[in-house]
Amino acid sequence: MAVQMSFTLKDFGFSKRLKDKIRRISDMSGAMRRISFFMWTDVMRHFAREEGPTGKWAPIRRRGKILQDTGRLKASIKPRAGRKEAIVETDVPYARKHQEGIGVKQRQFLWLSPRSQKTIAQALMDWVIHGASRI
């Protein structure tokens, strides 16, 4: 007679947990809401520091904070999220010319810092592995 060892798989709730993870991955709206907030916070930090991805924004001739004369642009920036996307946007007409440098010195404000990129990557991993309770 052979000597052997065997393993019999018993569910122990595994199927339910797997189904929960698949459901959570297919609808990431909770994670995306949180990520859009991380993104918005990062953009607000850019305004406070007056910096783009390559360094400080180009100076201006008048006194005051760059891109914040009336506060309209900064106040218009809003986070929004869907099932599989996180967005930070503005509908102020002159935002694009500053972001892209069209007719003015470019002063990018919609960009993700390396710190925020790491935070977002970790938040996504936590969401997939642990669910909403961890982000």
Q: What are the pLDDT digits (tens) for 38-75? A: 999 999 999 999 999 999 999 988 889 999 999 999 99
User: Rg of the Cα trace of the chain?
Assistant: 23
Cα separation, 26 vs 21, in Å, equals: 9
Contacts of 31 (CB under 8 A, 6+ apart): 123, 124, 127, 132, 135
Distance of CA 99 to CAs 76, 117, 135, Å? 14, 19, 30
| Partners of 52 in the β-ladder | 55
**Tokens (6 digits) for 100:** 């892209």
**Which 8-state DSSP code applies to residue 134?**
G
User: Under a CB-based contact definition with an 8 Å cutoff, are residues 127 and 24 in contact?
Assistant: yes
Residues in the chain: 135
Contacts of 22 (CB under 8 A, 6+ apart): none
**Tokens (6 digits) for 17:** 């947990």
Taking residues 99-125, what's their average pLDDT?
Answer: 94
pTM equals 0.80
Please tell me which of 15-19, 113-117, 124-128 the model is most confident about, judged by mean pLDDT.
Answer: 113-117
Neighbours of 73 (CB within 10 A): 18
- Percent of the chain exceeding pLDDT 90 equals 62
